[in-house]
Amino acid sequence: MRILPVDPIANASPGALVDFLAECRGIAERAERPHLVSISVAVDSLDPLAVLESIFEPGELHFYVEKPSEPFAVAGAEAVLSFKASGPDRFSECQKFIDETLAHSLAVGAVDGPFGGPQFFTTFTFLPDGGRGEPFPSVQVFVPRWQVGCRDGATVATANLLVGPGDDVRRLAERVWRAHAKFQAFDYDHAAFPEHGGAAVSGVEEVGGEGRYRVAVARALELIGAGKVEKIVLARAQDLHGTGPFHPLRALNGLRERFRDCYAFSVGNGAGVSFIGASPERLLRVRGGRLATEALAGSTRRGATASEDAALGSALLRDEKELREHRVVVDSIFRRLAPLGLQLEAPARPVLRRLANVQHLHTPIEAALPPGVRLLDALSRLHPTPAVGGSPREAAVPLIAELEGFSRGLYAGALGWIDARGDGEFFVGLRSALIAGSVTRLYAGAGIVAGSDPSREHAETELKIRAMREALGA
């Protein structure tokens, strides 16, 4: 990406913006191909979710994620560029698209601000090949036309556009200038939330029928006992039927307030379907040459009192079955990343990570990123981790669809973003829901190892799925 030493917005002149875009058009004409132009501006504090609510269109791609406890939030909507792929090479094909786009990109303004410059919002489904009729492709990456991001009290608004030979730069400039004026003085009072979407739940249906999950766990334990797998993660799904269409962003408001230590997220497929959730699990982050990931496996409920909560947490830290499940995940992360030459660092024992409704065993893992190794190189090796798939991965993952009886799609997939510097962050699509009109499908899973009990695992998934229902007002 080429960063130009001008700031057409800072001059507060539409004419300066026209001149700048004319310069960009000249560059595109000499290269004989369109260029992505990214214009970033530092603005007063904005709520990215409120901005997304004001421009949300079901027929457009969107991506939103927020982690209030860190704090950061970013939203992007409408695709100026997008790419889809499937199959075992989807990570490398995604990287090629990003590299090719950046090789013909121009950026100006607050590029070094939080989420400045173009962001590549990306989703990978759980499996590399999606079935026919799936709402989300195996990999989808897009650069949004409009994005707003904030971190540590600073906010940057960005307009991304394609400028090609012969384009009408005055028309492009007018559109960018209107957006700039809106973001500089955002009017929350007139960012009316859509009237539709306040549907009530009229029925709840267990996908596959009541009792299927316990049967699936029992079968998994037979496979573990026979030495076929060491661990397998099984999920259940519930369909909520509404009196009308559910609105993803209305539901998201409840999730981000209830789960402030999680990634509250929403992604849209551009055809009226959204995948939302509040995920507790970071899959991978790369920032300033450092890679960070984590093992999050083994869980118990929260207590009603401080004493009960502490007792449950203490028991979890001593639970042989839960510790064994956690160690499988830690060992797999080290084994999967070893060929990249990373010198991984992690504490010897897990600690507790407490969320609103559950507490987990947690091990943070970090390393310096070696030269030539990029975020997607590591992501392709990590996804899916044993925390959402199983171990050995090659044996466990193919069994999941058969045992569960439904397609996961983006559930337990990898969702996140990559910027022009190669930094970015991905989280796992857990504690989530697929919203399609008047039907919302909820997902929750649990890891099955030797010693697991079908009733206990069902209770764990019920705890997780109930929290989602409550956050959605069901």
> Who wins on pLDDT, 29 or 7?
29
Q: Which residue has the tokens 């079901």?
A: 58
At residue 463, the pLDDT reads 87
| Whether 397 and 329 share a structural domain | yes
pTM listed for this prediction: 0.93
| Whether 176 and 205 share a structural domain | no
At residue 11, the pLDDT reads 58
The answer to whether position 362 is within a domain reads yes
Q: Is the predicted pLDDT of residue 196 greater than 60, yes or no?
A: no
Q: Is the predicted pLDDT of residue 198 greater than 80, yes or no?
A: no
Least confident of 55-69, 198-212, 366-380: 198-212
**182 is a catalytic site residue:** no
> Helical H runs in 56-161?
90-103
Q: 434: which strand partners? A: 275, 441
What is the average pLDDT across 14-28?
88
What is the average pLDDT across 456-460?
92
| Whether 119 and 231 share a structural domain | no
At residue 133, the pLDDT reads 81
Report residue 471 as tokens: 């956050």
Angle at 388 between CA 143 and CA 150, to 5 degrees: 35
Report residue 154 as tokens: 């600073």
| Whether 182 and 219 share a structural domain | no
> Domain boundary residue among 167, 190, 213?
190
What is the average pLDDT across 446-473?
88
The percentage of residues in the chain with a pLDDT greater than 70, rounded to a whole number, is 95
| Whether 153 and 19 share a structural domain | yes
> Domain boundary residue among 142, 161, 190?
190
The answer to whether position 140 is within a domain reads yes
Q: Which residue has the tokens 């080290």?
A: 334
**231 is a catalytic site residue:** yes
Kindly report the backbone phi and psi dihedral angles of residue 55, in degrees, each rounded to the nearest multiple of 5, phi listed first: -115, 5
Q: What is the pLDDT of residues 295-350, one digit of tens each?
A: 988 889 999 999 999 999 999 999 998 998 899 889 989 999 999 999 999 999 99
Active-site choice (78, 93, 230, 281): 281
Active-site choice (66, 134, 230, 231): 231
What is the average pLDDT across 361-381?
95
| Whether 235 and 269 share a structural domain | yes
The answer to whether position 196 is within a domain reads no
pLDDT band at 181 (very low <50, low <70, confident <90, very high): confident
DSSP H or E stretch at residue 78: strand 72-85
Pairing of strands 390-391, 201-206: unpaired
pLDDT band at 197 (very low <50, low <70, confident <90, very high): very low
| Whether 180 and 229 share a structural domain | no
List, as own/partner pairs, every contact residues 449-452 make where C-beta atoms lie below 8 angstroms and the sequence separation is at least 24, other chains included: 449/224, 449/230, 449/231, 449/321, 449/324, 449/325, 449/328, 450/221, 450/224, 450/225, 450/321, 450/324, 451/320, 451/321, 451/324, 452/217, 452/220, 452/221, 452/321
| Whether 205 and 352 share a structural domain | yes
Kindly report the backbone phi and psi dihedral angles of residue 142, in degrees, each rounded to the nearest multiple of 5, phi listed first: -145, 150
Q: What is the pLDDT of residues 239-276, one digit of tens each?
A: 999 888 888 888 888 888 888 889 999 999 999 999 99
Range of the domain at 141: 2-190
Q: What is the pLDDT of residues 70-127, one digit of tens each?
A: 889 999 999 999 999 999 999 999 999 999 999 999 999 889 999 999 999 999 999 9
CATH number at residue 406: 3.60.120.10
The answer to whether position 461 is within a domain reads yes
pLDDT band at 190 (very low <50, low <70, confident <90, very high): low
The answer to whether position 299 is within a domain reads yes
> Domain boundary residue among 165, 190, 215?
190
Q: 76: which strand partners? A: 63, 147
The answer to whether position 195 is within a domain reads no
Domain count, the chain: 2
The answer to whether position 220 is within a domain reads yes
| Whether 12 and 108 share a structural domain | yes
Pairing of strands 358-368, 390-391: unpaired
| Whether 232 and 96 share a structural domain | no
Q: Is the predicted pLDDT of residue 185 greater than 90, yes or no?
A: no
The answer to whether position 375 is within a domain reads yes
At residue 358, the pLDDT reads 87
Peptide bond into 144 cis (omega under 30): no
| Whether 178 and 219 share a structural domain | no
| Whether 123 and 51 share a structural domain | yes
Instruction: Report how far residue 327's alpha carbon sits from residue 344's, in angstroms, rounded to the nearest whole number.
Output: 15
